[in-house]
């Protein structure tokens, strides 16, 4: 400003060469995927473990050497004693019952071997004495070293050999980290492999977090799914609590159906103080990002994806069901561009804080509350239909597919924000027996609400609608199969028995090793998560046990208050939160038509399993195809073939054999006619409508 010269920092000209960066990335990718390069050279963590193991081996080497020498002396003494007493000859004579006849021969052979022992001892002593006189003490040191090495080799640890079997104090989980043979024995004891079969060690035992991890390959024809299913037996064989043992199949690149990853925790991984949710430390959250949900046994953070899917939370009372549901909704609360429908069938204060941000809010279990839920859902169904109509008019750049995008959801002019529908204690509304006339058919208010939610779960995700349901009565009468079959993500906290667990997680999940009834009562907030999408634990993981974050009422109120402030700043606060509870006038004809006529791919009646799952899997193909193979249905539905055939037979669907195309020719397979499946559906529908008419009369 005053004209003085001020020295400036040097200015450099540079250019970013993309080709060089691409070359570096290809080199790094090739280095990581190459099988010729040792694993310890691919990551700092692996190198650190290798250096640590090498130093530990050097520290333990003197003790192991002298221990081996001692065991070698003992083994050699036992072998010499057995030889000099002619044990082999004596046992052969005893087995042939001719010991008395062979006594003289045994006596003579014993005296001969004693003489050989004395001669060898005298010759070795004389030789050492002569060499000592000629060369001095170096002979004695050399002979002692040679003898020590020999005894150490003879006395090396080897299970099954007399005098050399490893015996360690403490649980066997410590033993197998040092001796893989103990792990093989544990698999045999658990009857996961045969007596003549063994394991192939892919990655030896190493410390991972607060536990030990190892990866093994099972013998041919043995499957990782069987190990997961029999995890309790393997935990017993390893002498650890089953909650400490995590068994996972290794999938994707480098994995196959017989590769198993084991992780054994040092102690109960689900004990300890509650975990604080990371959402308390953020100013806002993007609803398109998976929400922090909890941590698994290895203390990895598990994020739950919500957009494009739905969530069912089931548990008995006082197991953390409401806390888990609020965690899932918290991400949408902190996104000012989302809209929330909150329906609390309990009528308490668990969701009271959400009233200040909710677009629609209902709290209570009276008839008027059920009618309000119905009206709000009808309104939302009409909104979903309108969204599809608006998306069809958008160009491909704005809406490349018939699905909502982040840009669309934040465009106020389009009016299609991400909308969360949270229904706590949903069984309260489903079990409402009030009679309704919907589309000319008689039903109940609860069944109509279930049909509306089924439509939203089926059609809503692509339009930006996320449905989150929570219930403390996870049974087949509470959650209709037509709704349960299309819910994407499932989370089951502790329930009463395996049937209730399967209602939440899916059919026959208990036979695959996932049973929420086995969770401990002391593990509050711990449940089995079956995600519909990728998690930090793996994209192809079927299910995993998660300890959810803890969010008490005070923290929940703070998050909801922050969500209201964000909406006020963004100008997106609307609906019930600003006192506008007026229900928009809509044409309910199209809504009723979509729900009742089946254009929503749903059914008015509650189909029994596995018929409901078959109908849901086939969808529109139920009318297009004539025949569906049994193998296809069993694989798609992940059910037991024998149980599936019996249950379908009870519903009037008998399998038959037909020829189907197979490459260049045809082959004869067993399956079902879709006409028989449709007929079974019609029979169930007729029986249910008839029973409703009888009740009405």
> Is residue 30 domain-resident?
no
Residue 600 lies in a domain: no
Task: Specify the pLDDT at position 12.
Answer: 53
Task: Give the 3-state secondary structure of 261-290.
Answer: EEEEECCCCCCCCCCECHHHHCCCCCCCCC
- Supply 68's token pair: 């081996």
pLDDT, residue 86, reads 74
Residue 560 in domain:
yes
CA atoms within 13 A on the CB side of 618: 25
Res. 103 pLDDT band, cuts 50 70 90 = low
Q: Are residues 338 and 237 in the same domain?
A: no
Last residue of a domain, one of 533, 560, 590: 590
pLDDT of residue 164: 42
Tally of CB atoms within 10 A around 335: 27
Does residue 423 contact residue 343 with C-beta atoms inside 8 Å?
Answer: yes
- What is the full DSSP assignment across 587-620? -HHHHHHHHHSSTTS--SS-PPTTHHHHHHHHTT
- Verify that 76 and 123 share a domain, yes or no: yes
Please tell me whether residues 450 and 562 are part of one structural domain.
yes
| pLDDT over 90 percentage in the chain | 21
- Residue 57 sits in the same domain as residue 102: yes
Last residue of a domain, one of 246, 265, 284: 265
pLDDT score recorded for residue 87 = 72
pLDDT, residue 529, reads 92
Contacts of 416 (CB under 8 A, 6+ apart): 387, 390, 391, 404, 408, 409, 463, 464
- The pLDDT tens digits for 544-602 are 889 999 998 999 999 999 999 999 999 999 999 988 876 655 555 556 555 544 433 33
Say which residues have a Cβ less than 8 Å from residue 634's Cβ, sequence separation at least 6.
Answer: 640, 641, 644
Check: pTM over 0.85? Answer yes or no: no
Q: Are residues 578 and 477 in the same domain?
A: yes
The confidence score (pLDDT) of residue 587 equals 55
509-542 pLDDT per residue, tens = 887 778 888 888 888 889 999 988 666 555 567 7
- Pairwise pLDDT comparison (157 vs 195), residue with the higher score: 195
pLDDT value at position 95? 59
Q: Are residues 438 and 338 in the same domain?
A: yes
Nearest of 615, 575, 92, 676 to residue 358 by alpha carbon: 575
- pLDDT over 80 (residue 237): yes
| 86 neighbors 110 (Cβ within 8 angstroms) | yes
Domain count, the chain: 4
In this structure, the number of other CB atoms found within 10 A of the CB of residue 123 comes to 10
Classify residue 278: in a domain, yes or no: no
284 closest CA partner among 411, 412, 410, 413 = 410
The string of pLDDT tens digits covering residues 676-691 is: 888 888 777 666 544 5
Question: Same structural domain for residues 311 and 232?
Answer: no
In a domain, 528, yes or no: no
Residue 245 near residue 231 (C-beta atoms within 8 A) = yes
Please give the sequence-ordered ranges of beta strands (E in DSSP) within 25-73, or none if there are none.
none
The top-scoring range by mean pLDDT among 131-135, 373-377, 511-515, 665-669 is: 373-377
**Residues 146 and 52 occupy one common structural domain:** yes
34, part of any domain: no
pLDDT confidence tier of residue 66, bands split at 50, 70 and 90 = confident
Whether 232 and 334 map to the same domain: the answer is: no
Chain segment 482-492, per-residue pLDDT in tens? 788 888 899 99
The residue whose two tokens read 């989370």 is 491
Distances (CA, A) of 272 to 156, 470, 501, 517: 42, 26, 25, 21
Say if 332 falls within a structural domain: yes
Residue 512 tokens, joined: 């695959």
How far apart are the C-alpha atoms of 254 and 471, rounded to whole Å?
Answer: 40
At residue 118, the 3 state secondary structure works out as helix
Q: Could you tell me if 104 and 63 lie in one domain?
A: yes
CATH at residue 392 = 3.40.50.300
Do 118 and 126 meet the contact criterion of CB atoms below 8 Å apart? no
Q: What's the CATH code of the domain at 218?
A: 3.30.980
Q: Is residue 252 one of the residues assigned to a domain?
A: yes
Confidence of residue 94 (pLDDT cuts 50, 70, 90): low
Residue 467 confidence class, pLDDT cut points 50, 70, 90: very high
Residue 476 has pLDDT above 80, yes or no: no
pLDDT for res 170? 40
Task: Give yes or no: residues 430 and 321 share one domain.
Answer: yes
431 lies in the same domain as 552: yes
How do residues 264-291 score in pLDDT, each as one tens digit? 888 888 887 888 899 998 999 999 999 9
Q: Give me the domain span that covers residue 680.
A: 607-696
Distance CA 148, CA 290 (A): 62
């Amino acid at each position: 400003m005053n004209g003085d010269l001020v020295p400036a920092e040097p200015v450099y000209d540079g250019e970013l060469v993309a080709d060089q960066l691409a070359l570096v990335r290809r080199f790094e990718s090739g280095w990581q995927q190459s099988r010729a390069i040792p694993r310890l050279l691919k990551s700092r963590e692996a190198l650190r473990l290798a250096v640590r193991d090498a130093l530990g081996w050097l520290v333990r080497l003197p003790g192991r050497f002298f221990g081996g020498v001692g065991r070698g002396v003992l083994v050699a003494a036992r072998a010499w004693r057995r030889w000099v007493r002619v044990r082999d000859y004596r046992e052969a004579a005893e087995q042939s019952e001719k010991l008395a006849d062979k006594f003289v021969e045994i006596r003579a052979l014993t005296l001969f071997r004693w003489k050989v022992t004395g001669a060898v001892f005298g010759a070795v002593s004389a030789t050492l004495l002569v060499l000592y006189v000629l060369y001095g003490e170096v002979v004695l040191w050399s002979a002692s070293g040679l003898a020590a090495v020999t005894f150490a080799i003879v006395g090396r640890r080897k299970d099954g050999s007399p005098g050399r079997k490893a015996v360690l104090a403490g649980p066997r989980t410590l033993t197998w980290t040092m001796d893989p043979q103990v792990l093989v024995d544990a698999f045999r004891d658990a009857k996961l492999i045969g007596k003549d079969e063994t394991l192939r060690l892919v990655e030896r035992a190493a410390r991972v977090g607060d536990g030990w991890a190892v990866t093994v390959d099972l013998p041919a024809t043995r499957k990782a799914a069987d190990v997961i299913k029999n995890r309790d037996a393997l935990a017993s064989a390893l002498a650890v609590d089953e909650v400490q043992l995590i068994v996972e199949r290794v999938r994707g690149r480098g994995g196959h159906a017989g590769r198993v990853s084991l992780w054994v925790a040092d102690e109960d991984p689900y004990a300890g103080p509650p975990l604080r949710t990371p959402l308390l430390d953020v100013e806002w959250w993007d609803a398109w990002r998976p929400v922090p949900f909890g941590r698994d046994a290895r203390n990895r953070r598990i994020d739950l994806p919500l957009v494009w899917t739905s969530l069912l939370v089931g548990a008995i009372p006082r197991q953390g069901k409401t806390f888990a549901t609020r965690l899932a909704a918290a991400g949408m609360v902190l996104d000012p561009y989302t809209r929330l429908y909150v329906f609390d069938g309990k009528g308490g204060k668990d969701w009271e804080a959400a009233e200040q941000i909710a677009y629609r809010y209902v709290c209570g279990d009276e008839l008027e509350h059920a009618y309000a839920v119905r009206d709000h859902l009808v309104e939302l169904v009409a909104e979903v239909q309108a969204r599809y109509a608006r998306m069809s008019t958008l160009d491909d750049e704005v809406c490349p597919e018939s699905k909502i995008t982040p840009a669309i959801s934040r465009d106020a002019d389009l009016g299609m924000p991400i909308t969360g529908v949270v229904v706590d204690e949903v069984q309260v509304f489903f079990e409402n027996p009030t009679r309704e006339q919907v589309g000319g058919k008689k039903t109940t208010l609860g069944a109509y609400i279930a049909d509306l939610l089924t439509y939203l779960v089926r059609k809503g995700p692509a339009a930006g609608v996320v449905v989150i349901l929570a219930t403390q009565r996870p049974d087949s009468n509470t959650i209709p199969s037509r709704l349960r079959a299309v819910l994407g993500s499932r989370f089951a906290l502790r329930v009463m028995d395996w049937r209730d667990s399967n209602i939440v997680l899916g059919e026959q999940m208990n036979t695959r090793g996932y049973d929420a009834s086995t969770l401990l009562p002391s593990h509050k907030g711990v449940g089995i998560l079956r995600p519909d999408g990728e998690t930090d634990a793996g994209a192809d993981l079927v299910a995993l046990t998660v300890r959810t974050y803890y969010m008490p009422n005070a923290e929940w109120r703070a998050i909801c208050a922050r969500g209201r402030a964000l909406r006020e700043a963004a100008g997106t606060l609307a609906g019930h939160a600003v006192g506008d509870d007026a229900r928009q006038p809509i044409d309910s004809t199209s809504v009723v038509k979509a729900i009742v006529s089946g254009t929503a791919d749903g059914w008015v009646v509650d189909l029994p399993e596995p018929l409901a799952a078959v109908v849901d899997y086939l969808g529109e193909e139920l009318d297009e195809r004539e025949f569906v193979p049994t193998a296809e249905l069993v694989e798609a539905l992940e059910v037991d073939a024998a149980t599936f055939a019996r249950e379908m037979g009870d519903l009037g669907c008998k399998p038959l054999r037909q020829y189907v195309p197979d490459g260049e020719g045809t082959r004869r397979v067993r399956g079902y006619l879709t006409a028989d499946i449709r007929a079974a559906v019609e029979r169930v529908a007729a029986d249910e409508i008839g029973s409703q008419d009888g009740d009405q009369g």
